[in-house]
Amino acid sequence: MVNYKERFNKYEKNRWAGLTISLCIVVVFYMLVSNLGNIKVFFNSFLTITSTVIIGAVIAYTVNPLAGFIYNRLKKIIKKNEEVAWIISATVSLIFVIGFVVGLLVILMPMLVENITNFAMGLSGYMNSLKDLVLSTELEQDTKLSIIGFIDEQSNLTTAVSKFVLGNDVTPTGVLRFSASIGSGAFNFLIGIILAFYFLIGKRKLSELLSEFFLLVIPTKHYENCRKVWIKFNSIFSRFIVCELVDALVVGIVNGTFMFFMHMPYAVFCSVVVALTNLAPTFGPFVGAFICAVILLLVKPEFVIPFLIFTLALQLIDGYVIKPRLFGSALKVPAFLVLVFLVVGGKLWGVPGVLLAIPLAAILSYIYREIAVPWLKARKEAKDAGEARERVKAEAKAQRNKHGS
């Protein structure tokens, strides 16, 4: 049998081995960067084909913590058959989450539609008020005309929404295609819910199969480290998704309560925007605050400053009180690493890349702290110990030679 380790060590002693390996790494990296567009197209096509399965997996993964919580209490009652306890827990948790989402939509949708309708009907007046505000400023005339021209282009809400939704295909065919895509999306989501149920039911068997497969594939000496990384990976992702949803819901409710209390217009619409943008880390809350501030500026400018002050206070409380209590210490990652992952993730995968930036950065940070650093320390200590032994031997040899002479 060929001893690949000895062969590699023999090549490593060659002074050209390091240069060759480095050149190979550079070539591979260059090929990846050169074909980044093709790789992105491949992944987009793959995601399109498997979108229904991914929807089901995401729903199941999101519901799984609640199912586990119910199961841990139910198995004490149903001691004889844990499989039945898990099926009941998965079913109850899935029904609860879907019912909660549907109930939330039933409550919010009428008010949300009313807010959007009222805003659309009053948009022309809001734009005229904004143009009057621009004309009353001390800006240069050319700048004023440019801003007013831009406002006029955005005044036709119907055209703007049509272009946003349909692109440039504002035709009966485009409308039909858009309607078909909505129907297809709804059907895929329904199938995804069914798949989520089966994913939850078959979770244990799937886990056993994957564990057996990885145990056979991964070398025994690395299996335990890989297992620890996977457990941490699952813990971070699960906690991140659930806590992000809970945090967005809390922030949206608090924002809505404040706007209703202050009698601000379009409270429901602005609160939904704030909640959704709060899902995006770092920059999301600022985008939501900007959108809502623009709406208030068009409708009731006197509410802009109080809203921004409240938003700043809410984000400080959310960032330093709510999120640390929800996430605990699992997501402590360096700020620069989060920023890098936000930029790279957004460029490669858009919104999903931005949403997953923090957990991916947390996983990388965990691998560095818990695996890479201990391994490098052990390697350095072994190397230092070897060098120390060599020095002792050299000194002993020098002493023997000295006494011998």
Q: Compute CA distances 205 → 53, 61, 333, whole Å.
A: 18, 15, 34
pLDDT at residue 310, as a whole number: 92
pLDDT at residue 80 tops 70:
yes
Identify the DSSP state of 318: I
Per the model's pLDDT, the better-predicted residue between 75 and 333 turns out to be 75
Q: 387 lies in a domain?
A: no
Per the CB < 8 A criterion, the answer to whether 253 and 273 are in contact is no
Farthest CA pair distance, the chain = 106
Q: Average pLDDT for residues 126-144, to the nearest whole number?
A: 74
Distance CA 273, CA 284 (A): 10
Distance CA 303, CA 294 (A): 11
Residue 328 φ then ψ, to 5°: 70, -145
Write the pLDDT tens digit of every residue in 162-213: 554 444 544 556 556 655 666 677 777 788 888 888 888 888 787 778 777 7
Q: 213 lies in a domain?
A: no
pLDDT at residue 182, as a whole number: 67
3-state secondary structure of 227: helix
Least confident of 114-128, 157-171, 292-306: 157-171
Instruction: Work out the mean pLDDT of the chain and round it to a whole number.
Output: 75
Best-predicted range by mean pLDDT (35-39, 75-79, 179-183): 75-79
Q: What percentage of the chain exceeds 70 in pLDDT?
A: 72
Looking at the 3D structure of the chain, how many domains does it have?
1
pLDDT at residue 37 tops 70:
no
3-state secondary structure of 243: helix
The shares of helix, strand and coil residues in the chain, as percent rounded to the nearest 5, are 85, 0, 15
pLDDT at residue 282, as a whole number: 66
Q: How confident is the model at residue 287 (pLDDT cuts 50, 70, 90)?
A: confident
Tokens of 389: 């032994």
Distance CA 240, CA 248 (A): 12
3-state secondary structure of 240: helix
- Straight-line distance from the first to the last Cα atom of the chain, in angstroms, rounded to the nearest whole number: 49
pLDDT at residue 165, as a whole number: 45
Q: 71 lies in a domain?
A: yes
Distance CA 352, CA 55 (A): 13
Domain that holds residue 144: 53-204
Q: Average pLDDT for residues 274-289, to the nearest whole number?
A: 81
Q: Average pLDDT for residues 310-332, to the nearest whole number?
A: 73
Which amino acid appears at position 100 of this protein? F
Q: 90 lies in a domain?
A: yes
Q: 164 lies in a domain?
A: yes
Write the pLDDT tens digit of every residue in 99-108: 988 888 888 8
> How far from the centroid of its chain's Cα atoms is residue 157's Cα?
31
Per the model's pLDDT, the better-predicted residue between 222 and 66 turns out to be 66
Distance CA 306, CA 204 (A): 52
Q: 341 lies in a domain?
A: no
pLDDT at residue 38 tops 70:
no
Per the CB < 8 A criterion, the answer to whether 188 and 50 are in contact is no
Distance CA 394, CA 388 (A): 10
Distance CA 181, CA 74 (A): 41
Q: 83 lies in a domain?
A: yes
Q: How confident is the model at residue 296 (pLDDT cuts 50, 70, 90)?
A: confident
pLDDT at residue 258, as a whole number: 92
pLDDT at residue 39, as a whole number: 65
Per the CB < 8 A criterion, the answer to whether 101 and 95 are in contact is no
3-state secondary structure of 246: helix
Write the pLDDT tens digit of every residue in 340-365: 776 777 676 666 676 777 777 777 77
Write the pLDDT tens digit of every residue in 243-252: 788 888 888 9
Per the CB < 8 A criterion, the answer to whether 85 and 78 are in contact is yes
Per the CB < 8 A criterion, the answer to whether 275 and 255 are in contact is yes
**How long, in residues, is the chain?**
405
Q: Which burial class, exposed, middle or buried, applies to 7 when counting CB atoms under 10 A from its CB (0-12, 13-18, 19+)?
A: exposed
pLDDT at residue 133 tops 70:
yes
Tokens of 315: 């984000």
Q: 94 lies in a domain?
A: yes
Tokens of 255: 């924002």
pLDDT at residue 84 tops 60:
yes
